[in-house]
Copies of this chain bind each other. A is one copy, B any other.
């Protein structure tokens, strides 16, 4: 009951089992995927920096890399830095002992000197150790992400750098229709575009919704029309 005791909670972070390399719509990022598979296997460059604006699939790829490394029996850690305010930078201590560390949205700690220094130190330990693969994601390239610490920026420039391009609406529609087809569902273009207009436009959400529509259409024995979709999703 002391007023200074920090409250420590344990949050289950779940890597969705369907966010794998198999479910990633590559759209020209095949070289990146090969490189992430290497990192998951402990091969190739020590550090990889992925960047891309908005919902370009960074989280999916980091999840996929962790899932693949786990399948190979390797120790992994995934951390989304969007919640850094709820965590101590000490969470980065000792991560270099793992086989694979994926840090999502590292630009969330830009201009937070204590976090920038903790990242800088992690990079140094990872390189020194040599056995850990570190994959980080951000919305912008290392030089433009807004970090203060020049030594950190120089570390972020180590290794491999990839830019992810967000899928165009047409590519998203194609991915959605391909996914529907794999499930034996007929998703007309008009219905697909309706979903993309009304829901969060990332493929994760659209795929989740497709799963739900798949079940609902089986139960109701109805086709995926706009009225049926509206009714099912309360739109």
Contacts and interface: CB of A to CB of B under 8 A. Distances in A.
Interface of A: 1, 3-17, 20, 59, 63, 66-67, 70-71, 73, 76-80, 82-83, 85-88, 91, 110-114, 148-151, 198-200, 204-205, 208-209, 212, 233-235
Contacts of A82: 80, 82-83
Given A7-B15, A113-B209, A86 B91 contact: no
A10 B13 CA distance: 6
A112 B4 CA distance: 38
A70 B7 contact: yes
Contacts of A150: 234
A77 B7 CA distance: 10
B148 A234 contact: yes
Contacts of A148: 198-199, 233-235
Interface residues of A, dominant DSSP: mixed
A9 B12 contact: yes
Contacts of A204: 85
Smallest CB-CB A-B distances: 10 pairs: A111-B200, A7-B15, A6-B17, A82-B82, A9-B13, A11-B11, A80-B83, A11-B13, A13-B86, A7-B70
